[in-house]
Structure 1
Amino acid sequence: MGGPSGHGQKNKAHKSGNKGLNARDKHKLAREGPRVAAKATGNAAGGKQERMLATKQQRNAKHQELMEKRRRATSSPLVVGLLPLSRDVDLVHVWRSLLAACEMPAPGKAPTQAAASRRHSENGQGDADGQEDVDMECDAGGSSAATHLRAQTVGIAGRPKLRLTLLPPPGPRNDPLAIAEYGRAVEVLLLVTPGGEKATTIDAEGHMALGVLRALGLPETVLAVQGVSSGPGNRAATGSMKERSAARKRAEKAVGAALTGEQRAYPVDSTPDCGQLLRHLIERPAPSLPHWRRQRPALMVEAAEIAPHTQPDPSAAGPSADAPASPLCTLLLSGWVRCAGLRASQLVTIPGAGDFQLERIEGPPEGSAAGGGGTGSGKGGRSERSGTSSGKGGGEGRGDAMDMEGSQPVLLAQAGDDEREPLVRENVPDSDDEGEQTWPTDAEIAEAQQNMFQRRLSKHKVPEGTSAYQAAWIMDSDAEDEDGSEEAGGSEGGADDMMAEGNAGAYSDGEGDEAPDLVDNDDAGTDVMALDQGADEDDEDNDGGGKYARLQEEARAKRVAEGEDAEHPDEMEVPLGVSARVRFQKYKGLKSFRSSPWDPKEWLPKEYSRIFAFENLHRAHKRAREAVERATSGADPLAVEPGNYVRIVVKDVPVDKANQVVARVQASFPSPEAAAAAASSPDQGALPLMVMGLMTHESKMSVMHMSLRKAKDCSESLPNKEQMLFFTGLRSFPARPILSSDTPGDKHKMERWLRAGQQTMASVYAPISYTPLPVLAFKSDPLGGPMQLVAAGAVRSCDPERIVLKKVVLTGYPVRVHKKRATVRFMFHDPDDIRWFKPVEVYTRAGRRGRITEAIGTHGAMKCIFDGPVQQRELVCMNLYKRVYPKWPEGNNLTYA
């Protein structure tokens, strides 16, 4: 309806009515006095310049701070690890090409890679692909570099302040534990794939390695592709540009399906290609490591030496306080401080040895090639390190070792005895009596012994064919009937009365869990497996075929038991000849699993007197992080900032553990003599030793909870309390975890199996570990093969008061039904058991809830009433619960490393 017309749009005229033009100013108050001009400082030229100058200063300050952080983070050599994803990769050729592209750290040998390369180019002796350079450099580097891969710290040609530490891959490609150890050491992971069209880009071992590294936390990854190979075992031949482009695309597609993010492939067919890859590595920003690595200091040990130790420290209560005393020594470990500042007062954990205190932290001598004039405050400068080690565990290939012989090292940090964190593994209770909650008096113990003696003297008639074990239970049942039948029959007290009587015998045996493992096997979840296990251990065959058949039978029995538990979860029958009130004396009923109260300090085992608990875990973790931040920023006078080459003096190390550490360091960073001796060995370099600094309280025992998810490649049935090896990145330890549901609430149901696709909580006795921290669970191969990754997850919390309840479902069948009433049988076999469990609620699978009214006869029949009509085909159930706890380490071995 647009346009001016009689029926079209008509706008309202903009008129002020009777008001004039000055009507809007009438409501304003008259101004008194002269008008004061506003101070226009913001629009003045000087004010704008000041603002621009202030903004520039802030920008420069932030840039300087960022550059300082990068300088501190990259002052230590960048650790680059090579990981082939397929057997078709010619790793020796890639290793030679990388070393040829770098500056070889070979003292006494004049030609460097850059000089030799220039000489070859001037004389016209080098080919276009740089293969002659590779051969020349390998010969100059020694024969060990040609056949034996070992860790080396090399310099970059033309970049004297930049160095790389090249780590060869772990020897066994099918060992996931070795891959995990390797993953926590590298800062940049170089994934090498073959470029051949018929080659396997990522084989089974490669997929396994990527899965382990993803669960552990991937560092920075760089993809490298090797050109088309001329044949197995021969050197890779450089193809045309089209073939190289196709090879890169195949590698990017295969790795992109396994890893998130965009991956760019770099060719490594020749020395110039490796030079381009090195430029990419050194020009990129500082590598971003997982958070769990950034919040703890780390030291990659490049040299190790044992110093004599005269007198052990009596004040140090180490992890093996109960073990027999062994000779101690002082261990000297040299390496770069990485990730965070290292404090002289904190504890360190050495893989394979345990947790120890530091006596002091030393730096290289002033004026030496390895030192930068370090000061006592731990802020020693950074300089080139091209010298070689004196030592006992160092080698020619490092190029960063400290020359300590004939000179006095600089003391960087040393803490007093009162400033060091105490090395405490477990709590020592005041006395055994105080650690026991329901310990009987001497008179009660004497009376119980007298009653037991009288029962042994009394004679009872038992059915013919009854065993001694069954006869003992029958006699106990008769005695209980004589003493308490009248009380049990005439009382209908609540559930609290039932548990008050059951508590008296709960901990009469200090270490007893419950009656026979035959009828309640937490480990296997089935009765048949418990019987077969003992028989098979006695009849184990010595030949491999019999052992393999036995293992196959055990695996089949586990799968059957897991399937039965999935079909009928938590169901259990009362065994014949055993009273239910004795068999389930530690169990009690709950009105509601979600809302019914359960005292977390009720019926605690003896092991709880040996562990520690936090009053406020969040506050303790915050203080521990603040201590690490002070050490990293240089505010702690007892700390050494990251990026410094130091030698830590570890005190009170057992001699056998120290020898193992030195042997491992010599294998990973061998001396020239050791490298020449290992030149004929086909094995690759050993795993580097990573010493990790512990945060406050991380050496004390507590109850740790970890969330686990079963690995996709694991087809084995994993029952509750199965022996596993846990690797947390910080330390590794064996344990038998109890599994529970990962649900909200104050009570959690115990799981009998670790099921695929289900998030499950695992609780163990272990040293305290702050989150975030990854967890990898391994299981050993009974046939002697490498360990298998069975589960992965993360550390969740440290809480000894987390309640894990084992659920038992007793079932019965209604034999007679009339509306809401039913007569139920086969749940119990004794009328006294019915009266004992009378306060506990019963229910049906259809959702009806009811209670027991009375017992009928002497064969376990009972009357029940429900809140609605009951059908005869329904199953009547009763839920009983008992709190369960983790298993203490076997043999009281508390050396976690």
Structure 2
Amino acid sequence: QRRHQAVQIRRNKRDDVLSKKRSLGGLAAAPFLVCVLPLNQDFDPASVILKLTKCDPEAIVNMSPSGVIHISIPKFKQRFAIVKPSVDNDHAILDTLKIANTVLFVISGECGINYETEPIDSWGSNLLLACFSQGLPTPIIAVSDLDNIPIKKRNAQKQIIQKHASKWFPDEKIVALEKEGDELNLLRKIGNQKQKSVTYRDRRPHLYSENVEYLKDTASDVGTLKVSGYLRSIPLSVNNLVHIPGLGTYQLSQIDAPADPYNFDKKKNVIGGSSEIGAENVEVKVLEVADPTKQESLESENIPDPMDGEQTWPTEDELKEAEQEQKLKKVKKVPKGWSSYQAAWIPDDDAEFISDDSDGDSDSDYMDAKSDDKSEYSDAEDNMDTVTESEIPVNDQQYDNELDLIAEQSDLEKLKAAKCDLIFPDEIDTPQDIPAKERFQKYRGLESFRTSPWDPKENLSGDYARIFQFQNFDRTRKRVIKELKDKEGALPGWYITLHVKNVPESLWNSAFVSTQSPVVVFGLLPHENKMSVVNVVLKRTNVLDEPLKSKEKLIFQCGYRRFIVNPIFSQHTNGNKHKFERFFQPETTAVATFFAPIQFPPSPVLCYKEVKGSLILVAIGSILSCNPDRTVIKRVVLSGHLFKVHKKSAVVRFMFFNRDDILYFK
């Protein structure tokens, strides 16, 4: 009985492997999507793609309207789709790699000999870092242009390139394209090798566009986007939502099933010439039409009921109005010696309104660091050094026109504050202009940061009434993943056309028409369009050494999504309370918290910062949770000068400046 059970288990595993192989690249399946990328920005891999199209005289070669080159090899009974994104568009490269089954890295054999640069330059290193952080598909490394190198130096050059490639791919061996038939063997290797699994991609239906058509509505500024391509991974229902990176989340109106234009029955076309595929009258079959009663809603935020509010804490707008009313006070000119009772009888026409800013409270944040992202970060001035500015005006003619003086001064202030926070974390000086008990009235003393209680629901901002929270996030995630097996709709491997409705024309023109970026479509899982508080674990890269300030504008790519947020940073620790970090220092790890749509982990996270018009990868990580109850607490440490030390006490100077504060904090 045990022997029969082992045989059945072995047979089931073999069947699973065969079914996975047959579901990709076969006659009735989606072709292998191969992304060709150079590892040197000065090298163009177009010559390698041209050799792949001519490797087999019996190959059927076609090109789609979006620039995808289809190669069908009859002797292999396999199909390949080759794409080459622009090296000047980092987002286009990452979006293509989200869908690709295989990435073909091409290195020129002339690098280091005829080229002054190395086989993998700084641009290639940054590209590989982003690819590994996002989730790299099955890699292959090929070396071309070996014909231009003397025969005696070829082996040495290949060893040098293998050494550079082994730093990133220890288990991969380079494929040299120097003999006739090497390109055909390369395609054979792509079709037979084991495919690497990317979890966040394999759990969602996805599609790379072969043909895109925008149909504008005559009565409005929106239209229908028709995206054609091969569906991959899991089935897609017309009632589900789809997300297009760079364009947003939309609903589908219907799904069509046109005939596959790139199968083995089609005649061979010349690349760059007139294609006969678009001219054929192909019958289009409608697979599904959206049902309004079953279609998922685009509503991402909850509409709060003001009568259900249990919290009596005033909103920030109400606090600002009250603060302005307190600042405005009447000043009346009265004769010398008059009392306040006598001054009250003076008519209001003789009164003047002035604003008193001396008693303002500069700290507008609450202790609960789940504060509104729109609020100003108020404690920055506590850690700032005093800067004495010269009264002599700056001569613009003697200053470099390419540099911004104001930006340089703000960067210098930021670096000083970050250095001060690194040396003296959370330490601030007690202000002298206002009482300390008023300055720190929103703070509380904790006997123990780890064990002292703190209610995560108190003093929440009004935005928390508009977001969603799961009763048990992990249980919901497991249930959603389990239900994927019983999903209905268009099956993976079909060539389909998605009708994406209500796409704004201006957004479509700015995001794709002007940039010529590829269109990538992802199907969303249930609840992934709703807003919540997302926590991601980040680790700083070595590309940028500057510290990142909390609530600084950054560009995040979480899985298939990309958006701009102003996150707050906190320590990645155990427990239910986490200390707020004013700066995300280099070579450290932190948790970033921000409002964003829900996304079920695991999902990789890439964090970019825009510096002088270019995007720099400053941190990488993954999604930790979608939990609004994660309490982030801002801590302050009052500093002073140690004057005298006793056995059980000490005397500290310059910590408080009036007796009331001493008695209050005693």
Change in 2 beyond 3 A, CA 1:540/1:189: farther
Q: In the alignment, does 2:177 pair up with 1:268? A: yes
Partner of 1:419: 294
Q: In the alignment, does 2:600 pair up with 1:770? A: yes
Q: How does 1:818-897 map to 2 (within 5 A)?
A: 818-837=646-665, 852=666
Change in 2 beyond 3 A, CA 1:398/1:723: farther
Partner of 2:639: 811
1:526 positional shift: 2.8
Please point out which of 359, 362, 386 is paired with 1:473.
359
Q: In the alignment, does 2:108 pair up with 1:194? A: yes
1:254 positional shift: 1.0
Is the 1:724–1:736 Cα contact (8 Å) retained in structure 2?
A: yes
Secondary structure of 1:604's counterpart equals coil
* Aligned residue identity for 2:311: Q
What is the CA deviation profile of residues 77-103 of structure 1, one whole-angstrom value per residue up to 9, with x for unaligned ones? 11112221125645232232122225x
More helix by share: 1
1:542 positional shift: 13
* Aligned residue identity for 1:337: L
Scaled by the length of structure 2, what TM-score is found?
0.83
Secondary structure of 1:342's counterpart equals coil
Partner of 2:143: 225
Is the 1:361–1:648 Cα contact (8 Å) retained in structure 2?
A: yes
Partner of 1:336: 230
Q: In the alignment, does 2:204 pair up with 1:296? A: yes
More strand by share: 2
Is the 1:187–1:289 Cα contact (8 Å) retained in structure 2?
A: no
What is the CA deviation profile of residues 346-390 of structure 1, one whole-angstrom value per residue up to 9, with x for unaligned ones? 1111122210111222111xxx5649xxxxxxxxxxx6474899x
In 2, Cα distance between equivalents of 1:787 and 1:251: 28
1:159 positional shift: 3.7
Is the 1:427–1:612 Cα contact (8 Å) retained in structure 2?
A: yes
In 2, Cα distance between equivalents of 1:816 and 1:239: 80
1:723 positional shift: 1.0
Q: In the alignment, does 2:197 pair up with 1:279? A: no
Q: In the alignment, does 2:245 pair up with 1:351? A: yes
In 2, Cα distance between equivalents of 1:512 and 1:301: 36
Partner of 2:23: 72
In 1, Cα distance between equivalents of 2:193 and 2:645: 78
Change in 2 beyond 3 A, CA 1:407/1:434: same
Partner of 2:349: none
Change in 2 beyond 3 A, CA 1:280/1:244: farther
In 2, Cα distance between equivalents of 1:61 and 1:506: 57
Partner of 2:495: 645
Is the 1:154–1:397 Cα contact (8 Å) retained in structure 2?
A: no
Q: In the alignment, does 2:473 pair up with 1:598? A: no
In 2, Cα distance between equivalents of 1:448 and 1:342: 53
Is the 2:546–2:586 Cα contact (8 Å) retained in structure 1?
A: no
Partner of 1:257: 167
Query: Which residues of structure 1 form unaligned runs of 5+?
Result: 1-41, 43-47, 103-112, 117-136, 229-235, 312-325, 372-382, 390-394, 462-467, 477-501, 668-685, 838-851, 853-897
Change in 2 beyond 3 A, CA 1:398/1:814: farther
Please point out which of 560, 568, 584 is paired with 1:754.
584
In 1, Cα distance between equivalents of 2:546 and 2:396: 21
* Aligned residue identity for 2:621: G
Q: In the alignment, does 2:549 pair up with 1:719? A: yes
Q: In the alignment, does 2:527 pair up with 1:609? A: no
Please point out which of 552, 557, 573 is paired with 2:413.
557
Q: How does 1:379-458 map to 2 (within 5 A)?
A: 384=264, 386=266, 408-431=283-306, 434-435=308-309, 437-438=311-312, 452=326, 456=330
Which one has a bigger Cα radius of gyration? 1
Secondary structure of 1:438's counterpart equals coil
Change in 2 beyond 3 A, CA 1:700/1:521: same
Is the 1:153–1:399 Cα contact (8 Å) retained in structure 2?
A: no
Secondary structure of 2:33's counterpart equals strand
Is the 1:73–1:339 Cα contact (8 Å) retained in structure 2?
A: no
* Aligned residue identity for 1:645: Y
What is the CA deviation profile of residues 765-821 of structure 1, one whole-angstrom value per residue up to 9, with x for unaligned ones? 111111111111111123x3x211111111111010100011111123354555434
Change in 2 beyond 3 A, CA 1:555/1:616: same
Secondary structure of 1:73's counterpart equals coil
Query: Which residues of structure 2 form unaligned runs of 5+?
Result: 337-353
Change in 2 beyond 3 A, CA 1:204/1:398: farther
Q: In the alignment, does 2:615 pair up with 1:787? A: yes
Partner of 1:305: 213
Secondary structure of 1:807's counterpart equals coil
Change in 2 beyond 3 A, CA 1:593/1:87: closer
1:289 positional shift: 3.1
Change in 2 beyond 3 A, CA 1:350/1:176: closer
In 2, Cα distance between equivalents of 1:342 and 1:400: 29
What is the CA deviation profile of residues 48-74 of structure 1, one whole-angstrom value per residue up to 9, with x for unaligned ones? 9xx87x987776565444323322233
In 2, Cα distance between equivalents of 1:264 and 1:272: 18
In 1, Cα distance between equivalents of 2:274 and 2:239: 28
1:334 positional shift: 0.6
* Aligned residue identity for 1:207: S
Change in 2 beyond 3 A, CA 1:436/1:262: same
In 2, Cα distance between equivalents of 1:459 and 1:829: 33
Partner of 1:526: 384
1:558 positional shift: 2.8
Query: Percent identical across equivalent pairs?
Result: 32
Q: How does 1:455-534 map to 2 (within 5 A)?
A: 456=330, 472-473=358-359, 520-521=379-380, 526=384
1:469 positional shift: 6.6
Partner of 1:83: 37
Change in 2 beyond 3 A, CA 1:424/1:469: same
Q: In the alignment, does 2:98 pair up with 1:184? A: yes
Is the 1:227–1:244 Cα contact (8 Å) retained in structure 2?
A: no
Partner of 1:628: 484
1:613 positional shift: 0.7
What is the CA deviation profile of residues 166-220 of structure 1, one whole-angstrom value per residue up to 9, with x for unaligned ones? 1124232xx6544433432322111112324635221111111111111111111
Is the 1:388–1:400 Cα contact (8 Å) retained in structure 2?
A: no
Secondary structure of 1:713's counterpart equals coil
What is the CA deviation profile of residues 670-714 of structure 1, one whole-angstrom value per residue up to 9, with x for unaligned ones? xxxxxxxxxxxxxxxx54221111111111111101111111121
1:278 positional shift: 1.4
